[in-house]
A = this chain, B = another copy of it.
Amino acid sequence: MAGNTIGKVLALTSFGESHGPALGGVLDGYPAGITVDTLFIQGELDRRRPGTGRHTTARNEADSLEILSGVFEGRSTGMPIAFIIRNTDQRSRDYSTVRDVFRPGHADYSWWMKYHNVDYRGGGRSSGRETAVRVAAGALAKLLLRRSGISIQGIIRAVGNVSDTSHDFPLHPSRLVPASSEQLEAAYLDEIERARMDQDSVGGIVECRITGVPAGLGEPVFDRLGADLAKAVFSIGAVRGFEFGRGFACAGLRGSQMNDKLEMRDGKVSFLSNNSGGIQGGISNGEDIVFRVAFRPTPSISQEQKTVTRAGSDTMITITGRHDPCIVPRAVVVVESMAALTVADHLLRAGCYE
């Protein structure tokens, strides 16, 4: 039983390979009557696109969205919204090593063991290019959430050994590499550049904040809001860690430090802190939802690495072509998109959207 659909009431089905005719998705359960701002969606796709920063891969596709259904005269109709993004820059010659050799750190070996075939044109469906589908669908989810006053924003908290020790969360972060200050942006870029010069790559951490979420979203005992956010974010290939609220730091805290005390403020229930990251007992409590995501360094590096051929003999591999030394800047919008799809799904599940 395959797993290319996520969400229960707002359900995204994703399809497409990196070097096939097109990638795309079908978003079912999207309510009728929402103005579909295609410029906004295209802008979100541009945030994910390689080649927008100095430091990203030079493969440059327009990632031009075509909506096939579910929108009429500029508004959603309640029918499934299908969209495709044609692959236009398919220089598969850059990837021919995939045919014969398992690339270390890639999906090559485990996918081969499962499917017993190989799309040697560039990773096929395990390629990060698939995340374009999530960004397009996530942008649609953001348009829906916006009508309910919910917004989602991610910034980078670490790249390699450069960490953001502040807790600042500026509304308008520097955008080439979303960071809490221009100094950090520059430091992140330097760290990425150092990796590139070393023919290597680096990982990083993205933090995401969701504001305006009403109390009451999440469906215990299994479909807790935190659990579904974790699932959605871990469905991004390069993610290796997820925490919300105080996260792993909770382990070292006392209950008296961790518990968010309550008080009445202006006639409303308020919390004196947000250590729980906006989710208690699996349900949103009206505070900002805050979570952090760890990304592994890009597996494609141009250093020579030990590996094995598909035929079963030892070999060395040097991955040529142009690859991101760090996907974290481009991943910010992907994280936001998965969060948007999850929160929108739960908003509809709870019947909170009108």
- Seen from chain A, the residues whose Cβ lies within 8 Å of a Cβ on chain B are 1-6, 8-9, 11, 13-17, 20-24, 26, 28-29, 32-33, 66-70, 72, 75, 77-82, 84, 102, 104-111, 113-117, 119, 121, 124-126, 130, 158-161, 195, 198, 200-205, 215-224, 226-228, 230-232, 234-235, 237, 239-264, 267, 269, 272, 276-277, 279-286, 294-301, 303, 305-308, 312-314, 348-351
User: Roughly how many angstroms separate A2 CA and B28 CA in the complex, as a whole number?
Assistant: 6
User: Roughly how many angstroms separate A276 CA and B105 CA in the complex, as a whole number?
Assistant: 8
Is A114 a contact of B216 with CB atoms below 8 Å?
yes
Residue pairs across A and B with Cβ atoms less than 8 A apart, 11 shown, are: A4-B26, A16-B69, A26-B26, A77-B125, A105-B255, A203-B251, A227-B232, A230-B231, A235-B282, A255-B300, A263-B314
- Least distance between A9 CB and chain B CB atoms (Å): 5
Write out the residue numbers on chain B whose beta carbons fall within 8 Å of the beta carbon of A198. 254
Is B247 a contact of A294 with CB atoms below 8 Å?
yes
User: Roughly how many angstroms separate A12 CA and B276 CA in the complex, as a whole number?
Assistant: 27
User: Roughly how many angstroms separate A130 CA and B106 CA in the complex, as a whole number?
Assistant: 39
- Least distance between A149 CB and chain B CB atoms (Å): 16
Write out the residue numbers on chain B whose beta carbons fall within 8 Å of the beta carbon of A200. 254-256
Write out the residue numbers on chain B whose beta carbons fall within 8 Å of the beta carbon of A251. 158-160, 203-205, 241, 294-295
User: Roughly how many angstroms separate A151 CA and B13 CA in the complex, as a whole number?
Assistant: 29
Q: A80-B2, A203-B251 are in contact. Are A234 and B241 (CB under 8 A)?
A: no
Write out the residue numbers on chain B whose beta carbons fall within 8 Å of the beta carbon of A105. 255, 258-260, 276, 280
User: Roughly how many angstroms separate A117 CA and B31 CA in the complex, as a whole number?
Assistant: 11
Is B306 a contact of A263 with CB atoms below 8 Å?
yes
Is A297 a contact of B247 with CB atoms below 8 Å?
no
Which of the residues B110, B218, B241, B252 comes within 8 Å of A243, measured between beta carbons?
Answer: B241
Is B297 a contact of A21 with CB atoms below 8 Å?
no
Is A283 a contact of B125 with CB atoms below 8 Å?
no
User: Roughly how many angstroms separate A217 CA and B144 CA in the complex, as a whole number?
Assistant: 23
Is B161 a contact of A252 with CB atoms below 8 Å?
yes
Q: A20-B72, A26-B15, A116-B33 are in contact. Are A111 and B297 (CB under 8 A)?
A: no
User: Roughly how many angstroms separate A21 CA and B276 CA in the complex, as a whole number?
Assistant: 31
Write out the residue numbers on chain B whose beta carbons fall within 8 Å of the beta carbon of A242. 230, 234, 241-243
Write out the residue numbers on chain B whose beta carbons fall within 8 Å of the beta carbon of A264. 308, 312-314
Q: A5-B28, A68-B20 are in contact. Are A301 and B15 (CB under 8 A)?
A: no
Is B202 a contact of A254 with CB atoms below 8 Å?
yes
User: Roughly how many angstroms separate A260 CA and B305 CA in the complex, as a whole number?
Assistant: 10
Write out the residue numbers on chain B whose beta carbons fall within 8 Å of the beta carbon of A244. 240-241
Is B306 a contact of A126 with CB atoms below 8 Å?
no
Which of chain B's residues has its CB closest to A204's CB?
A: B251
